[in-house]
Amino acid sequence: MELSCQLICPCNQKLYKTASTLKAHKLTQAHLLWESSKDEKEHLIKINRLENEVGHLRRLNIILMERITSLELCK
């Protein structure tokens, strides 16, 4: 049984024979464009997740403020 390492770039699913050819590919405009669009997508997902969390925390804050107000009125 032989073990081998395959160098595949996720931007184009191509197999590269050596690490230097893969490294050279990663410097091409096509790969850099793919990488930046991937980074942008990840940032948008993170922003959306954080906005959802902020909305949830605002709703919790409103609920807590209503409870505090109702407790103060009961005194």
3-state secondary structure 18-30: CHHHHHHHHCCHH
pLDDT by residue, tens only, the chain of 75 residues: 777 889 999 999 999 999 999 999 999 999 999 999 999 999 999 999 999 999 999 999 999 999 999 888 776
Q: What is the pTM of this model?
A: 0.59
- Say whether 45 sits in a helix, a strand or coil: helix
